């Protein structure tokens, strides 16, 4: 893949602006924003839950909400509402090198104390 090449679904179609009514893209964008807000709120609820059963229920809903976010993004990508730009391998390698050294600063490794 060449640098700055756009990654998109080959069947992508661009929405037609027909007036003040909401398009499919507008609706999906709003739903995705709502799902993101819900996951933020549910993350807080999970951290603050004072009862194990409540915590488990919130975690179940949180997991489902995260999954819905993924599905909405994939639908929007398939419809051409999102486009991704491919990055050069050299830049990816540089970023990996830069941040891979940070792992020795983690307090835990593989679930055990270092």
pLDDT in tens, 41-65: 999 999 999 999 999 999 999 999 9
Tally of domains in the chain: 1
Within-domain flag for 43: yes
pLDDT in tens, 17-34: 566 888 999 999 999 999
Report the distance separating Cα 3 and Cα 92, nearest Å: 12
Buried b or exposed e, range 64-77, using 16+ CB within 10 angstroms:
ebbebbeebeeebb
CA 34 to chain centroid: 13
Q: What is the pLDDT of residue 17?
A: 58
- DSSP lists the bridge partners of residue 109 as 112
Within-domain flag for 95: no
Q: For residue 72, what is the enclosing H or E element?
A: helix 52-78
Structural domain containing residue 66: 23-80
Within-domain flag for 105: no
Which has more pLDDT, 110 or 102?
102
């Amino acid at each position: 893949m060449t640098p700055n090449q756009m990654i998109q679904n080959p069947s992508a179609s661009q929405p037609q602006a027909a007036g003040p009514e909401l398009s499919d893209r507008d609706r999906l964008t709003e739903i995705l924003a709502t799902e993101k807000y819900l996951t933020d709120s549910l993350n807080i609820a999970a951290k603050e839950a004072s009862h194990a059963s409540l915590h488990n229920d919130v975690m179940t809903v949180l997991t489902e909400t995260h999954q819905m976010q993924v599905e909405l993004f994939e639908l929007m990508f398939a419809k051409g509402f999102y486009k991704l730009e491919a990055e050069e391998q050299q830049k990816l390698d540089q970023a990996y090198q830069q941040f891979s050294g940070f792992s020795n600063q983690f307090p835990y490794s593989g679930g055990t104390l270092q």
